[in-house]
Amino acid sequence: MTNVDQSIPLKLWQTYKDTSALSLAEPYIESWRTLNPDYSYSFMVDDEIDTFIHDHFDRATLDVFRALPLGVMRADMWRYAVLYIEGGVYADLDAECLIPINEWGIPRGQLVVGLENKVHFCQWCIASVAKHSLLATVLEMIVARWQDDPDLSRPNLTHYLTGPGIWTEAIARYSGATIGSAHDIYRAHHDNNNTLSLSLLNEQAFNNQFVRHHYGSTTWRESDNYVSWTSQSSKLHLLYGCYPTLLSNWTMQIESNVFRLHSTNGASVELNDSARVILSYCDGSLSVANIAELIANDFEIPTADISESIWKTLNDLAKLGVVDIRRSS
C-alpha cells in the first residue's frame, strides 16, 4: 500500500463510551473547535464507533473489535481506524489544543506522531492523511495479536494489545527500526532526514507545546461521569488474574434449608444463594472471569451484568477468611 501525497483533512475526531464525560471535557473540546474553526468536529459514542467499524472493515476486524474486553481498547482501535478511513486529527477528551493545527507545521502526505516519553510514542493525539499504511499496519497487528489468544491477566495488557506499546511497535516496523525504544526510533528517524511519510515530533510537541494532556485518569478520578482506562485495566487484571479458592478449613452444610459454612475454629457464615453458587466454582482452577462466564451461561444472563457483583461477593468472603483470591494460576 502506497502513501498518498495530500494534506491532512480538516477533521477533528473524539470518542467516549457515552456523553457523560462531555461536561468534564467541555473546555478542552472548545479549545479544539475555537482554535480550528475550519475543521469539522465529530464525537462518537460506543454504538457509533461499533457501526463505523462494521461499515468500513472486514468481518475479522469487526469480530476482534467487538471481542476486546475493555472500552479503552476499542477506543484505541477506533482512533487508528477512523484516521485510516477518513484522515484528520484525533485527540483524547482530556487533551487540550494550545496552538491552531495549521501552525503545527505539518508536511503534506504525512502521519504526525509525538513522543510520549523515552519508551513510547503517544496516541492521545495523532494527525494523519487517510489511507496511511502505518495505520493499516497497526490495525493488522491488533487483529493478529488478539487472534493469538493473549493472556488477559498480562500486566500492561492495554498497552500491549491496542495502546502505546503496539503503536510504538508499529511505528518501528514502518520505519524499519531494529531498536525498540521510542526515543531511539525518533533519533534514527531524524538521522535519516525524515524520508518516510511520517513526522515524529519531540516529547514537548504533545506535552505542552501544541497540545496539553490533562491525564483524565488522574484529574477526573473522583468524578462519577468518567471511568479511567487505568481502573478498567485494573479490574480486568483482577478478573482474569485471580483464581479464588475455598479454604480447606471451611465446610458447607445445609441447616433448615439454609446454607452455612462452618470453620474448624468454630466460626460460622450464612450464605445467600448467590454466594453459594459462586463458592461452588471456587476450587482454584478457574479465574473470576471464568466463573462469571459459567454462571452467566447457566442462568442465561450477560456476563457483564454479573462480573462486578461476583468480584464484590468474593472480596466479602475473602475478608471473612473463607476464600483466597490472591493472584495465582
- 11-227 maps to which CATH number? 3.90.550.20
DSSP 58: -
Q: What's the pLDDT score for residue 192?
A: 62
Per-residue pLDDT at 220:
86
pLDDT at 166: 96
Ordered per-residue pLDDT tens for the chain, 329 residues: 344 446 899 999 999 999 999 999 999 999 999 999 999 999 999 999 999 999 999 999 999 998 888 889 999 999 999 999 999 999 999 999 999 999 998 776 689 999 999 999 999 999 999 999 999 999 999 999 999 978 777 778 899 999 999 999 999 999 888 767 899 999 888 766 555 689 899 999 999 999 999 988 788 877 877 777 677 776 776 677 788 999 988 988 888 788 899 999 888 999 999 999 999 999 988 988 889 889 988 888 877 678 778 888 988 898 888 999 876 54
The strand ranges marked E within the chain are 11-15, 40-44, 88-91, 95-97, 111-114, 125-128, 198-201, 211-213, 245-246, 250-255, 258-263, 268-271, 323-324
Question: Which three cell numbers, joined as nine digits, stand for 6?
Answer: 495530500
Alpha-carbon span 295 to 178, nearest angstrom: 47
What is the reported pLDDT for 224?
A: 77
Q: Identify the pLDDT of residue 3.
A: 42
d(CA 14, CA 82): 10
pLDDT digits (tens, 9 = 90+) for 103-115: 998 776 689 999 9
Q: How far apart are CA 133 and CA 174, in angstroms?
A: 8
Q: Which residues pair with 291 in a beta bridge?
A: none
The identity of residue 60, as a single letter, is A
Provide the pLDDT for residue 237: 67
For residue 189, is it left (φ>0), alpha (ψ between -120 and 50) or beta? alpha
In angstroms, the CA 180 to CA 123 distance is 17
**3-class SS at 53?**
helix
Architecture of the 242-324 domain: Orthogonal Bundle (1.10)
| Extents of the domains making up the chain | 11-227, 242-324
